Amino acid sequence: MSNEGDSCSAPLAGRQANAATGKGSPPLSLDEAVRSVRSQRGRTLAELSTGQPALVLFIRHAGCTFCREALADVAAIRERLADRGVRLAVVHMSLAAKADALLAGYGLADVDHFSDPERRLYQAFELSRAAWWQLFGPRVWGRGLMAIVRHGQGAIDGDGFQMPGTFVLREGRIINAYRHQTAADRPDYLQLLGVS
């Protein structure tokens, strides 16, 4: 299952250009990323994963049908995660207010989320930009049609070529990871956490 392998203060136009070109703030190490970038509630990933595991979803962009599917999947197991003491966090490239609305639509309004338009967290967690086949290959199209029917699709908000991933953190360290091979991958989150 595992294939291991901050909000920005720049003006919006600059952030969008930086997200597309990868220019802007210097890269963060993984340790810097988990200890310095703060959610909309002011918490870091290190804080969220202290004393309990945190399941961290990196979504491609708010309009991505597969990302909406991932949010629905996590919402469906939310109680099981809470029963096992697992915290949930979402990393995205949208402005915080837009992410608030998206997450609220899935019953995840209380989840810590991290606005990362410059993709500094994505880079620190070694999530790459996609090759053409990872977004537009036959498997992606087949799954995409099914996902669109159930979850809809919206406008691209961020870097449409950014690949998603899911990580289990404990004490600020990655203990399991799923880096998507295609945009259509659908991880088993409970298996990734090692729970049934």
Quick count: other Cβ atoms within 10 Å of Cβ 46?
18
d(Cα 2, Cα 56) in Å, to the nearest integer?
Answer: 14
Q: What is the DSSP pairing of strand 173-179 with strand 54-58?
A: unpaired
* pLDDT value of residue 10: 30
Q: Give the class (CATH, top level) of 12-193.
A: alpha beta
For 38-79, what is each residue's pLDDT tens digit? Answer: 999 999 999 999 999 999 999 987 777 778 889 999 999 999
Rounded to whole angstroms, how far apart are CA atoms 45 and 30?
Answer: 11
Strand order in the sheet with 165-170: 112-115, 87-92, 54-58, 165-170, 173-179
pTM for the model stands at 0.78
Say what the pLDDT of residue 144 is. Answer: 54
Rounded Cα gap, residues 63 and 42, in angstroms: 25
pLDDT in tens, 149-189: 565 565 667 777 888 999 999 999 999 999 988 877 889 99
Is the distance from CB of 73 to CB of 150 less than 8 angstroms? no
111-120 mean pLDDT: 95
| Segments making up each domain of the chain, as ranges | 12-193
Given this model, what pLDDT does residue 15 score? 35
pLDDT (0 to 100) of residue 16: 36
